[in-house]
Each structure stands twice: as structure tokens, then as C-alpha cells.
Amino acid sequence: MIEAYDGQDAVEKFGERQEEIHLLVLDIMMPRKSGKEAYDEISKLKPGIKALFVSGYAGDSITHTDILAKPFKARMLLNRLAGMFN
């Protein structure tokens, strides 16, 4: 797991270690760059990368099927991730 402080940090860290990263877990609402903006930039570097978005409130900022609403239990996260890799 690689922690990023905000969306811009996520893009920068991905650029440094993209070969090691196979899944993104991004909060939709992040400082400096939203999760959607970070994903859009990252997916240009590595098309087809899997992403799971989490949010306490998504609003209309994203129309993506892989949104996990906060709060969630570890089992919910594990089930969602397992479904993404099956």
C-alpha cells in the first residue's frame, strides 16, 4: 500500500512506482486534485488500471460503478476488491 496525501501526490507517487501498482483506491473528494482527476491522469500512464472509488458523499462528481460508500466494513472492501479481480 502506498499512501498519498492528496490527488496530486497520488499521481506523482504513481509515476514513480507505476510498475508496482495494479489497483487504485481513491477518495472522490481529495485536496488539490479529486480522485476522478487523479484517476484520469493515472489511466493515461497505465490504461486499464483498476480503480475503486470511496466517498462519504459522491454527489454528481463521478458516474462510475466502482464506488464504495463510507463508512464501510473491512469485509465490504474485501468483497468489492475480490469481485474486481475475478
CATH class of the structural domain 7-84: alpha beta
| Confidence at residue 57, expressed as pLDDT on a 0 to 100 scale | 72
Higher pLDDT, 61 or 20: 20
pLDDT at position 67 is: 86
Mean pLDDT of 23-42: 94
Nearest CA among 85, 29, 38 for reference residue 61: 29
Cα dihedral sign for 16, 19, 20, 23? positive
pLDDT reported for residue 86:
79
Residue range 51-76: mean pLDDT, rounded: 78
Mean pLDDT taken over the chain: 89
Domain regions of the chain by residue span: 7-84
